[in-house]
Structure 1
Amino acid sequence: MISELKKSEFYRCSDLLYEQGQLEIKAVVEGVNPGRIFVDDIESPASGFIWLGNNDGFLFIGDERNEVFNTELNHFIDTVIIPEARKVGLTWFEGIGNHNKWDETIKKVFENRNLGSWNQRVYTLQKNDYKGNFELAIEEGYNIVEISEILFKNSDKSIENIEFLHSKILECWSSPERFFNEGVGYGVVCKNKIVSVCFSGFVVDNVHCIDIETLEEHQGKKLAQKVAITFVENCLENNLVPYWDCMESNKPSIAVAENIGFRNLFNYIGYDFKFE
């Protein structure tokens, strides 16, 4: 029977994690970032899946050959997950294996779901690989600022769209305080609006997973690259390791990462199906 773990029980999944797997999974299990965990056995889990707190997917962990768990998945998703997912506006289930042995299992379990797939690439940057000496000057009217507590609180109401920053941080973090204790971040401001952000979305030890977004009307100005370089330089100065996870089809994002010096660490496949 699939059951949900309490946060205080997440540690029971530590031995199920693949060492070379996604950073986000470790961040949730270690309690750094929010998420929910569902397992086959609360006392001694062998298989399970993690619902990331930012609603960016369901990641399968542990034994992919666990038939008891696998045969219950469809019913559990239909009766428990989908109703709750709809409440937060999700219309698709996105499933990812913590290791590639899950790929065949996911395809088999969801073979009647009109399953689609996509490819992801994961990069990290070490200090020796960083291609420095970038020109950080950006178009007139744009300024790079640190995402500080003062900026976040916006007490002087100087930022007109502060809810953009609030929503981005709180997608990944249980509270602003947790982010400021654990994370790093920068934004680009134009005419009293935050138009681009780059910050630690998930953190495990000294590894910081980059979350980056530029508002559509300000794209094409290399703002993402400029703010990412600022973020990366801060990380390297403080012995932190930047981690970049992006879709293989996102050529601009890959170009930014590779131009800075990120190296491809591993790749994985994501699977999705639409809620009926």
Structure 2
Amino acid sequence: MIYELQKDQFMNCKHLLQKERHIEVQAIIEGNNSGRIFVDNASEPRSGLVWLGNLDGFVFIGEANNKMFNLEIKKVLREQIAQEAACLDLKWFEGFGHQVGWDRTIREILCEQSYEESNQKVYKLYESAYKTYNEPIIDEVYTVLKVTKENLVTYSLLKQSFFVSQITSFWNSVESFFEKGIGYVILHEDQVVSLCFSGFVSGNMHAVNIETILEHRGKNLAKKVAHIFVQECFKQGYVPYWDCMEVNKPSIAVAEGLGFTNIFDYIVYEYQF
């Protein structure tokens, strides 16, 4: 049988985490970011499935060779999660294993699905490796602004759909973001056109999330706001963490241009619900 944990039970999964792996899972178990967790045993879980709160994926954690869990979670994916995904207008399952040993098991769980595999790369940036000399100069029509409660009001950021949608795709609200995260935006005529902020937070690690409006791309805005963001991380003693698709060459170029080091890769499995 599979049990869905209540939020006050999430820490029961702490022992299933692996150091130096996915910050997203750690952030949810620690209660920093929203998410749901399905396990084989509520009090002493051996294996689990974490549904990221931003609907951006499912993460298998713990023992990969737990036959009972693997059989039952297959049913949960097919009978419960697929229905809930339809109600949420979520078209695709995207999953991966927190531990390396899950890859073979995930392929077995998804054997009845027509799934595809892709590669992801994870980076960290240490202050000693930061390439300050690569920070670009941007056009004077743009203004870099720290996301603070005062600036929310001064620049009416809460009325700007691009800004709000980006923050709330990772956090329950802008208010919850302020409790743990940091962020910067770039304004053009008082409108947010690019931003970089903490998508997930675990301990002193902050997952970098960057987005730039289409018509303002190609102007070094993503690079600029990323530099300002990581500088703030270092001021506060945080370690920036970067996760991107292997085929996303522009994202990799920005990360490596900042000095990020590739610490591990993993496989993502996806199929249409």
Matched residue type, 1:20: E
Q: CA deviation at 1:161?
A: 6.0
CA distance in 2, matches of 1:162, 1:250: 27
**Structure-2 residue corresponding to 1:200:** 198
Cα separation, partners in 2 of 1:164 and 1:151, compared to 1, 3 Å: farther
Over aligned residues, Cα RMSD in angstroms? 1.5
**One-letter amino acid of the structure 2 residue matched with residue 18 of structure 1:** Q
The one-letter code of the counterpart of 1:133 is Y
Kindly provide the CA deviation profile for residues 83-119 of structure 1, in whole angstroms up to 9, marking residues without a partner as x: 1112222100011100111001011111120110111
Distance of 1:27 and 1:267 partners within structure 2: 19
Whole-Å separation in 2 of the counterparts to 1:160 and 1:237: 26
8 A contact 1:94–1:270 mirrored in 2? yes
Residues 97-108 of structure 1 mapped to structure 2, 5 A cutoff: 97-108=97-108
1:61-140 equivalence runs, <5 A: 61-140=61-140
1:171 positional shift: 1.6
Q: Is the 8 A contact 2:47 2:69 kept in 1?
A: yes
Distance in 2, matches of 1:221 and 1:238, equals: 28
- Distance in 1 separating the partners of 2:101 and 2:155: 52
CA deviation digits over 1:235-264, x for unaligned, max 9? 112221101011111000100110111101
**Cα distance in 1 for residues equivalent to 2:67 and 2:127:** 44
Deviation at 1:178, TM superposition (A): 2.5
| Residue aligning to 1:151 | 151
**What does residue 267 of structure 2 align with?**
269
5+ long unaligned stretches in structure 2: none
* Aligned-partner Cα distance in 2 for 1:242–1:249: 21
2:256 to 249, 255, 258: 258
The offset of 1:182, in angstroms, is 1.3
1:15 maps to which residue? 15
1:246 to 213, 222, 244: 244
Offset at residue 175 of structure 1 (A): 2.9
| Matched-pair contact (CA < 8 Å) for 2:196–2:210 | yes
**Structure 2 equivalent of residue 44 of structure 1:** 44
Q: In structure 1, which of residues 220, 223, 237 is the aligned counterpart of residue 221 of structure 2? A: 223
Identity %: 45
For the residues of structure 1 that align with 2:170 and 2:125, how far apart are their CA atoms?
22
**Kept after mapping to 2: 8 A contact 1:161/1:194:** no
Q: 1:210 to 1:220 in 2, by over 3 A?
A: same
Indicate if the aligned counterparts of 2:135 and 2:223 stay in contact, CA closer than 8 A: no
Q: Distance in 2 between matches of 1:235 and 1:135?
A: 15
Distance 1:265 1:91, change over 3 A: same
The 1-side partners of 2:264 and 2:46 are apart by: 24
Q: Which amino acid aligns with 2:98?
A: N
Moved over 6 A (4+): none
| SS at 1:172 equivalent | coil
- TM normalised by structure 1 equals 0.94
Q: TM-score, normalised by structure 2?
A: 0.95
1:30-66 Cα offsets, whole Å, 9 max, x none, are 0011110011111221111100111110000011101
1:155 positional shift? 6.3
| Post-superposition offset of 1:151 | 3.2
Q: 1:11-33 CA distances to partner (integer Å, 9 max, x unpaired)?
A: 11011111232011000000011
Gaps of 5+ in 1: none
Q: State whether structure 2 residue 193 is matched by structure 1 residue 182.
A: no
State the shift of 1:78 in Å: 1.8
**Number of paired residues?**
273
User: Structure 1 residues 182, 75: closer, same or farther in 2, change over 3 A?
Assistant: same
Distance in 2 between residues matched to 1:161 and 1:136, nearest whole Å: 29
AA partner of residue 268 (structure 1)? Y
Q: Is the contact between residue 5 and residue 38 of structure 2 (CA under 8 Å) also seen in structure 1?
A: yes
